[in-house]
Structures are given as C-alpha cells and as structure tokens.
Amino acid sequence: MPDVQAFEAHATDADLDDLRARLAAARLPEAETVKRRWEQGVPLADLVELVDYWRTGYDWRSFEARLDRIGQFRTTIDDLGIHFLHRRSARADATPLLLTHGWPGSVAEFADVMDELANPEEVAAPAFHVVAPSLPGFGYSDKPATTGWGTEKIAAAWVELMERLGYHKFLAHGGDWGGVITTILGGRFPEHVLGIHTTTAQAPPGLSADGLTATERKWAAETREFWLHRAAYAKQQATRPQTIGYSLVDSPVGLLAWILDKFAEWTDTSDSPFETISRDRVLDDVTLYWLTRTGASAARIYYESHNSLDPELRVDVPSAISVYPRDIEKCPRPWAQERFRRIVRWEEPEAGGHFPSLEVPGYFVNDLREGLAAVLAAGRHRTMAR
C-alpha cells in the first residue's frame, strides 16, 4: 500500500513541559454563584482538582503507546492528510468495520475497544478488521485550509480510505458527527457499505408526533429542549469557530473546561462524568486536542455541516440503531424508519449516554457485535433470496 504510511505519535518533551507550565500559571475565575452544581458549567473546585492531576499525575506517554500498539497510519486523500488507527483481525472470517467519532471525541473513544472487536475471546463472536480515522481537523489528521470538508465529503473520503486498505465492502458505525457520516455512507454508498450501526439516528424533518408512544414523545421533547436551550456550543462553533478557537488553542484550561462540560452533561451520571469515565480517559481526549492544536479546526465541522444532513437522504442498507438513555438526541423509532428503511435491530440500553464506548465499554462492544451480526445476517438473507 504505497499510499499509506505508518505513523507514530510522539509529542516533544518541550510541548509537554509547556503544557504543564501553562496549567501551573492558569488564571481562573471565581466560583460559580449557584448552589446546584454544573448549573453554570464546570464547577471551579472540580476543575482545580482535574487541572492539578493533569499537571502532576496524568501520563500522556502511556496513551501514545496504546495508540502505537493498535497501529497508526496516515494517507492523503483530496490533498488532505488523514490519520487512522487500523487493527487487523487474526480471524479469516473477519469483516471490515469503519468506526467514526464525533465532537468533542476523537479516536481516543475507540482505543480501548478495538482489540476486543478485532480479536474476541469468544470464538462465536464476530470479528472485525477495525479502522478508526481521525476526522479532518481532528487529532493527527491535517487541518483543512479551505472550506468544503463537510460530512458528505468526509463520507466519500472514508470510502476511498477503505478501498486503499483493500476493503471494497465494509460495515460502518458512528455516533455524534460519526453517526451523521455513517448515515451518509449507508445512504450514498450502498455498493460499498454492507450495513450500519449508529447511536445517532436522525429522522427527516417535519414528521408528526401523532401515533408516538408516551416515551417517544418524551424523547422528542427532550431532544427539542436540548437544541433550544443547551446547544449554545454548537451555535458558537457553527457560526464563529475561529473566535472560540483562539481560547481553545491558547489555553489548556479553557479547552479542558469546554470539553469537560460536555462529558459531564452528556454522560449517564448523577453529578460527575468520572462516575463512569476515568480522569485518564477524558484527559487522553483533551490532551490529544491540545497537543495537535486542533481546538479551532475541529470546531469547524459545525461551520461546514451543522443542520446540513440531506432531508431526502434514505438508507436502504441494513441498519442497527441503539438509543442510549442519556444521549442528547433520541429519535423515536417511527421517525427513524422514515430515513432508515431496513432497521434490523433496535436497542434501548438501560444505561449509558453520548460516549458509550467510554461509559459502558463492555456493553458497547456486545451491542455493536450483535447489531452488526444482525446487519450481516440480513444482508446474507437478501442475497440468498435473489
């Protein structure tokens, strides 16, 4: 594969020293003026504690080593360097699987589950050749220098990436922006995509609530409330990513607070995100943003693609959908069926939020396996029926 080069992650000691110095010299605001924690954002006491751990206890080199053990590569597509993790399975019956992250995530979301997906201990469990690319402007992928790198172009680039790896047909999974891209992959490239699994199912606009159950109406109301009252971050990044970008690239504490706020609000926890996700896993993600200086470039995916999913797009490949109880968007199944025409598995887990691979990794792996097994079985059945 001459177009694909091996890649190793290695921050300079100078960059790590600079990070610690900036953390030590941080200027912080006064404490929040409310008694209900998190009502005004990240509480000062929580941030002070995490900043101290980031500066004195967190080990970035350990995360770099984990990425290198999985296998890291880069290739250039449409003049843009794309970074990706690639773990080939030892199993002869393995199926190629593309995992796409979102914001404020990164490939760090999948670092702890790729080995298990590629080489499961149970012989009966399906195995996958797993590919997890970094979105343009994220992590070790290049930063686009012009507009145009929206979700449609990214989906097409992912097809090219998989082709270069020898995977003409593949499965796809994603959540958040990764879920949108996965939807586009299933809708635009059915000749390449065997089927999809997503935790972010977005219905076409303008559907009626008539006939929805009480639970489905509640989901719709919660999703509407989220976009009306708790999505200022998305409006900021969709309209003025450059402005917020200066803070995200210049201040590690500002970057940490901007991202930690989402880990706190979007996880299935009663107070702190660290009830389900370790400090190290959150800091893996935040430090990746910091060292690659991608706070601004990653935010631009909102400028490129916010509210841009084609309302006419339909997905006819087999689809498995999981709606986690504390996710920020929960689409009723009757609405989802208007876009995803062949839902072969629908799951409503009892626990988990927007980051299931980090919050409930064991459940996430099993759910993904079972969902993709159902997708593959549906594809085989259709082929035999012909």
What is the residue-level pLDDT of the chain in tens, covering all 386 positions? Answer: 569 999 999 999 999 999 999 999 999 999 999 989 999 999 999 999 999 999 999 999 999 999 999 999 999 999 999 999 999 999 999 999 999 999 999 999 999 999 999 999 999 999 999 999 999 999 999 999 999 999 999 999 999 999 999 999 999 999 999 999 999 999 999 999 999 999 999 999 999 999 999 999 999 999 999 999 999 999 999 999 999 999 999 999 999 999 999 999 999 999 999 999 999 999 999 999 999 999 999 999 999 999 999 999 999 999 999 999 999 999 999 999 999 999 999 999 999 999 999 999 999 999 999 999 999 999 886 655 45
Whole-prediction pTM: 0.97
| Residue 247 φ/ψ region, left for φ over 0, alpha for ψ in the -120 to 50 degree band, beta for the rest | alpha
**Both tokens of residue 311?**
């309302």
Can you tell me the distance from the alpha carbon of 233 to that of 244, in angstroms, rounded to the nearest whole number? Answer: 10
Q: How many folded domains does the chain comprise?
A: 1
What secondary structure does DSSP assign to 111-122, as a single string?
Answer: TTTHHHHHS-SS
DSSP class per residue in 103-151:
SS--GGGGTTTHHHHHS-SSTTS--EEEEEEPPTTSTTSPPPSSS---H
Q: What CATH number is given to the structural domain containing 309?
A: 3.40.50.1820
- What is the phi/psi pair of residue 274, to 5°? -75, 0
- Residue corresponding to tokens 């009966």: 124
The DSSP bridge pattern shows strands 72-77 and 343-347 to be unpaired
Q: Using alpha carbons, list the distances in angstroms from residue 246 to 74, 144, 240, 254.
A: 27, 17, 11, 10
Distance CA 26, CA 211 (A): 53
How far is the C-alpha of 367 from the C-alpha of 198, rounded, in Å? 11
Point out which residues pair with 193 in neighbouring strands. Answer: 170
Range of the structural domain that residue 311 is part of: 4-385
Residues 259 and 99: beta-carbon distance below 8 Å: no
The H or E element containing residue 194 is strand 193-198
Q: What gap in Å lies between CA 212 and CA 337, rounded to an integer? A: 13
If one counts every other C-beta atom within 10 angstroms of the C-beta of residue 55, the result is: 16
Give the list of residues 6+ apart from residue 233 with CB closer than 8 angstroms, or none: 258, 261, 262
pLDDT in tens, 209-220: 999 999 999 999
Tokens of 366: 């099993």
Dihedral sign (CA 236, 80, 95, 374): positive
